[in-house]
Structure 1
């Protein structure tokens, strides 16, 4: 659901059968691009390591983003114009109850804004999804199926929903601490203690989801938010657009090929029926990233990337290993 420039997908070699992962985008009447409906990396301008996917647009502002109480002399008029533009798109029922403050994210067919409840002055995030597009309806329905069922400290909470013929407005709690992705970029890598704390919170949330028959299917650092900017903040799992929600205790296998390439489990790539264990594979990738600051499977060429995943081909160098390597000490 990100936005950015898509890269051209490589042609699969004749001896390897690879699946392409669909990206949900609104219909466009522009010239045909056979690759535009497939998930690809998103271009990102910033100091992150090559191969990291771009940060997502979910319901939170950057920790350094200005609050409504701060003045922004140079950029205030353009920002006000943008806010006014998106406020005009909102249903009157929404604007009667919530004051639209700022646009804080966007996707192919969605926008996320920071709002304030007019009566209580409590801040929230509203995700506005264009449901006139089939893909938008599918993602919206998937998210609502999950969010209406869950209540857990480590999962984003749905507050209320407004629906119109062409749009759905999902009012959610506002996480202000930024993405786990951003903290990895800032820190380079986590200590084992810090990584364990993060993974424990994510695992608590995933265990809860799996007990309800819900598989996230797109776990990655961009979809894990800090509730507030402090170091003691809890982690919140977000973005259930690709989630599979089944009845509690239903062990039916899933077949849909979906996810973010670097985090996809091998069984999904080869189109084998799979279980909620694909979330655990993604958590393994996240654990690797937390401890090393790099991706276990990384290649600009999609065919080679998928081969790495299918072969389980990766290596890990911890902090001590990197120091030894720098001094030419090998074999430990």
Structure 2
């Protein structure tokens, strides 16, 4: 009987190959998972680092903002410096905001190299109105050079802003100086009026009409007794007639010369010449000449009328035309009804009254010119034949009474004296030197 001694080997499993493949695949999958995990971990680390950096930046911004807010609280003018062009701040150190108007700001600045003080007037020229206001003032300031007229040092222009660097007047306004003095006599008045008349003679020779002459726009250059008085604020100025020539100053006189760089187009835009002047009613009501209210063509004579009003105030502390409403005020101006009654007119000389009478004349052609005022006996003699009485007490008392009446009137009524006619109302921020601020934009248009 035969038997088989061979072993029967088990049949290879069909899953063995697949197990091997699965092992390899699983190994590769583990490696891939590890790589993906590492990438995710790195990405998470990067995100975390980015979040930390963003957090640090946010904290830094918050710190900067808090420092900025603290600086703004301690220094209210700090936020204003950011509005200045880098070219301006590179040359001038902005010190303080002096005042502001609808289209303008004025700051006190100091030249970084010479340490000389200046006033920088920032004019916004985005709209048509701001552009007109800028062109008016800039057109005049670029062409004037006189000791009794504000001087333009340089100009910086951008697309929407113009920076006028002007000499800084630190001596205060005309009436502020009068009040601050312990004594004030006719002789003191003539000194101031001679300087104003000299400046007006120069401006009128050039063909410039100021149109907003008043004590607030007459500033002393420095606090000393020998300070010169300068005319400021040419935002409402216009040209008496069109011209294509420029002028150079020699002392108090203006010499006409041809100017190769004279831009007649600029004059056309900035001044609008006599036609524009005839069709607008601009200025401060109490100082408006009758021809302006009567819608007649105006000339440099309107400045001489304003000089008469200023002289009246300077000698008495009161206005020649002072009414509770504008209609009554305008009627009084058109009639030319004023008087020399009350204190201190009994102590004022007849020559001083004659000087005022020849300026507050209804007919512009009969009104004294700036040249004629400088030849008037009262100014020529420096009031030598006038009373030497101290007018300070009467002037101060009358000014205080007028200020009290003005403050008691409702500001919204539109009848408060001293404010410009629905136009540039420059507000004064704090005390110190200032420039007249103005925006010619809102001049009332009057049909011819």
Give the TM-score normalised by structure 2. Answer: 0.52
Match of residue 104 from structure 1: 98
SS at match of 1:90: coil
The total of aligned residue pairs comes to: 247
Match of residue 34 from structure 2: none
Query: In structure 2, which of residues 191, 210, 213 is the aligned counterpart of residue 197 of structure 1?
Result: 191
Q: Which has the larger radius of gyration?
A: 2
Q: CA–CA distance in 2 between the matches of 1:101 and 1:167?
A: 19
1:234 aligns with 2:239: no
Q: CA–CA distance in 1 between the matches of 2:111 and 2:223?
A: 22
Query: In structure 1, which of residues 117, 125, 130 is the aligned counterpart of residue 124 of structure 2?
Result: 130
Q: CA–CA distance in 2 between the matches of 1:320 and 1:129?
A: 43
1:311 aligns with 2:335: yes
Q: CA–CA distance in 2 between the matches of 1:78 and 1:321?
A: 54
Query: In structure 2, which of residues 340, 343, 346 is the aligned counterpart of residue 321 of structure 1?
Result: 346
Match of residue 93 from structure 1: 87
Instruction: Compute the displacement of 1:305 (Å).
Output: 0.7
Query: In structure 1, which of residues 260, 266, 271 is the aligned counterpart of residue 295 of structure 2?
Result: 271
CA gap of 1:78–1:298, structure 2 versus 1, over 3 A, is farther
The 8 Å contact of residues 72 and 79 in structure 2, kept in 1 or not, is answered as: no
Q: CA–CA distance in 2 between the matches of 1:99 and 1:200?
A: 35
1:291 aligns with 2:285: no
Query: In structure 1, which of residues 197, 206, 218 is the aligned counterpart of residue 200 of structure 2?
Result: 206
CA gap of 1:186–1:241, structure 2 versus 1, over 3 A, is same
TM alignment of 1:1-332, pairs within 5 A: 80-186=74-180, 190-245=184-239, 246=241, 247=243, 254-255=277-278, 256-316=280-340, 317-319=342-344, 321=346
Ranges in structure 2 where 5+ consecutive residues have no aligned partner: 1-69, 246-255, 257-272, 349-448
Instruction: Compute the displacement of 1:158 (Å).
Output: 0.2
The 8 Å contact of residues 71 and 78 in structure 2, kept in 1 or not, is answered as: no
Instruction: Compute the displacement of 1:163 (Å).
Output: 1.0
CA gap of 1:268–1:320, structure 2 versus 1, over 3 A, is closer
The 8 Å contact of residues 212 and 283 in structure 2, kept in 1 or not, is answered as: yes
The 8 Å contact of residues 148 and 230 in structure 2, kept in 1 or not, is answered as: yes
The 8 Å contact of residues 189 and 293 in structure 1, kept in 2 or not, is answered as: no
Cα RMSD of the aligned pairs, angstroms, is: 2.3
CA gap of 1:89–1:185, structure 2 versus 1, over 3 A, is same
Instruction: Compute the displacement of 1:307 (Å).
Output: 0.8
SS at match of 1:283: helix
Instruction: Compute the displacement of 1:321 (Å).
Output: 2.9
SS at match of 1:290: helix
Residues 119-178 of structure 1, C-alpha deviation per residue, up to 9 Å, x if partnerless?
Answer: 111111100111113322212111111110010000000011111122111001111001
Ranges in structure 1 where 5+ consecutive residues have no aligned partner: 1-75, 324-332
Give the TM-score normalised by structure 1. Answer: 0.70
Q: CA–CA distance in 2 between the matches of 1:91 and 1:318?
A: 53
SS at match of 1:161: strand
Q: CA–CA distance in 1 between the matches of 2:127 and 2:317?
A: 37
Q: CA–CA distance in 1 between the matches of 2:339 and 2:313?
A: 12
Which has the higher mean CA deviation after the structures are superposed, 167-176 or 127-136? 127-136
The 8 Å contact of residues 184 and 293 in structure 1, kept in 2 or not, is answered as: no
CA gap of 1:313–1:102, structure 2 versus 1, over 3 A, is same
Q: CA–CA distance in 2 between the matches of 1:211 and 1:318?
A: 37
Q: CA–CA distance in 2 between the matches of 1:217 and 1:125?
A: 22
CA gap of 1:320–1:275, structure 2 versus 1, over 3 A, is closer
Q: CA–CA distance in 1 between the matches of 2:130 and 2:123?
A: 6
Residues 279-311 of structure 1, C-alpha deviation per residue, up to 9 Å, x if partnerless?
Answer: 100000000000001111112311111111111
